[in-house]
Structure 1
Amino acid sequence: MKVIFEHQSHPAGLGFLIKEYIQPYFTSPFHFHDLYELIWIKKSYGKLYAGKQMMNFQEGDVYLFGPGFGHCFYNEKGFIEQGENAHAVAIFFKDDFLGQGFFENTAYIKIKEVLNKSSFGLQIQYVPPRIYELFEHVTAQSGMDELITFLQLLNEVSRLPPLDIKVLNETQSAMKLTNKDSARLEPVLKYVIENFRDDLDSKTAARLIHLNDAAFCRYFKRRMEQTFSQFVNNVRITHATNLLLNEEWDILRICYECGFKNLSYFNRQFREITGQSPKEYRMAFQGNNQTLVMDNQPD
């Protein structure tokens, strides 16, 4: 899908780059690069593959990814069918865009610490209004004003309490994939994320990248550090966590909605991935006094 509008600053020259994306859905493939990326999801929702994790993303999210951190935002069909445009503002920059060793100065140590952690992938969980304001300003500026606003953004992020910043991976997630691997696996990732409610099998996935089933399973596990079935279950459980917190459906309905055919298997996979049962997960976030809507009742 062609990008409807893209705002790009400094196509050559300065060591940071601002892009504004407005398009029917996010089209960037699963990728990584040698720059830091600070991104605000202004409008959109779906699934984010971040390092080694699959998670939900939504409007208002802000992330910081370090160089080599593999990631991709996939819009859900529900968002695409609404007919609204996805909208994001991303700032790409090098660690030396202000000169070699600039952030080694003790006066800027907090910024350096945040940049170091970004190799694990970071999400700002509680975004203060000031950060949104600075994102809005920076897309409309140029020259020195743009640079100053960007530095203010970095400073605001570095001053956040540690509990407000979620580290997305337990280990450093610089991808083992080459650019060729990334492009090759993209159809497989899209196949799973767009069809996880249906019956999925490795043979169909293998055909997408012109491998036989056995060769595909070896290749996928070696490159993604998990089996194909583990990846499918991660996508399904990620969707389940979203439904548990945002829909008043019973557990059985959520099980089927996420592509599982067996409730006991769904419960087992949910606990293995999240460390909790679906009921415990819901109670932890919403309390234990929720009234569930049963399948035979109107939504």
Structure 2
Amino acid sequence: MLYHPKKSVFQHQSGAADMSFVVREYLQPYFDSPFHFHDTYELIMIPNSYGKLYVDNRIVNFSAGEVYLFGPGLPHCFLNDRSFKDTGETAHAIVIFFKKDFLGNDFFGKAELIGIRDLLISCKQGLKLPTYDHTLADQFHQIAQSKSMDALLLLLQILHRLTSYKEQLLTIGSMTPRVKSNQEDANRLEKVIRYIVDHYKDEPDSKVAASIACMNEAAFCRYFKRRTEKTFSQFVNYVRVTHATELLIKENWNIASICFECGYKNVSYFNRQFKHIMGITPLEYRSEQLKSSGNVIKIIA
């Protein structure tokens, strides 16, 4: 069986071609941008969508209302869960691209802008703002419809507001040196990761993944381990446990229900894999996260 991801996209771009930065608004059945990197900063707000974000060799959950800032050269790819695709909703993202010197080499060296300079330095591995900010969301929507000086002022306001969340911003990329790749390699890896994200609730097959990568299985397994620092089965477990961390916080399901929803057939095996990856059991994780947030979940037996 071969896996062929479909492509379909509507794109709105704000601003003239000679502007110092670019704003794009994406409205799609699901996010289909490939695993990619570029020489600009990328600032993203997601009004509607959820799924998995692959950054470097890490997978994290993403959901509506979150904001991300990626430094130049950081490989990443947003992948919608199959459950989002099945809803028929529109995936929506507002993205701003800009270079470090888009306002001149010394602009962010001014005393008033030290906070933004430090923010841009710290986003080398990617930053995530998990807290929803209504004002920040409004600014993103406004910049998508603005031009010239209005858009520039909004961009500075967005960056300035992000500096106020210094303690809440999460680093999401890997701190280990990256494996150098070309566009062909990035395309190959993205197709495999997309296949895993689409099928982690079932039984992803390394033979199918190898066929997607146009490689024999033995060569593919070596390639995949080198590129992701995990075997194929380890990566599948990584995606499943990542999904479980979200369900443990957002759903009032018992552990067995979460286990089966993530693709596991055995609760004991799920508990072992979760503790191996996260360092604590699913119940301990839920307790710690709810305690820190002040929330309470009434578990459905």
TM-score (norm 2): 0.91
Which residue matches 1:247? 251
- Do structure 1's residue 136 and structure 2's residue 154 form an aligned pair? no
- What's the secondary structure of 2:167's corresponding residue? helix
Question: Unaligned 5+ residue runs, structure 2?
Answer: 1-6
Match of 2:129 in 1: 124
Post-superposition offset of 1:115: 0.7
Corresponding residue number in structure 2 for 1:17: 22
The number of residue pairs the alignment matches comes to 292
- How far the C-alpha of 1:250 sits from its partner, in A, is 1.8
Determine the structure 1 residue equivalent to 2:265: 261
Residues 231-287 of structure 1 show CA distances to partners (whole Å, capped at 9, x for unaligned) of: 111110011112212222221222122112232221121112222100011111235
- After superposition, the CA RMSD in angstroms is 1.9
Structure 1 position 173, deviation (Å): 6.8
Paired residue for 2:283?
A: 279
Say if 1:217 and 1:145 are closer, same or farther in 2 by CA, change over 3 A.
same
Aligned-pair CA distance for 1:138: 0.8
CA distance in 2, matches of 1:91, 1:37: 6
Equivalent residues in 2 for 1:65-80, closer than 5 Å: 65-80=70-85
Task: Say if 2:218 is the partner of 1:214.
Answer: yes
Contact preservation (8 Å) 1:119, 1:174: no
Q: Paired residue for 2:160? A: 155
Percent pairwise identity: 47
Equivalent position amino acid for 1:119 in 2: K
Residue 187 in 1 paired to residue 191 in 2? yes
Letter in 2 for 1:282: R
CA contact (8 A) 2:14 2:145 kept: no
**Aligned equivalent of 1:228, options 196, 216, 232:** 232
- List runs of 5+ in structure 1 lacking aligned partners: 295-299
Q: Is the 8 A contact 2:79 2:197 kept in 1?
A: yes
Residue 109, structure 1, aligned to residue 114, structure 2: yes
Deviation at 1:224, TM superposition (A): 2.0
Letter of the structure 2 residue corresponding to residue 212 of structure 1: N
Q: Give the drift of 1:3.
A: 1.6
Q: What is the TM-score when the length of structure 1 is the normalising length? A: 0.91
What is the alpha-carbon distance in structure 2 between the residues aligned to residue 152 and residue 14 of structure 1? 18
Deviations along 1:21-60, one digit per CA (max 9) or x if unpaired, are: 1111111011111111110000111111123321111110
Alpha carbons of structure 1 residues 263 and 52: separation in structure 2 relative to 1, 3 Å? same
Hey, what's the Cα distance between the residues in 1 that align with 2:117 and 2:67?
Answer: 18
Query: 8 Å contact 2:57–2:227 — kept in the other structure?
Result: no
Instruction: Select which of 1, 9, 15 maps to 1:3.
Output: 9
Deviation, structure 1 residue 164 = 1.6
Q: Distance in 1 between matches of 2:226 and 2:18?
A: 38
The residue type paired with residue 262 of structure 1 is N
Contact in 2 for aligned 1:70/1:174 (Cα 8 Å): no
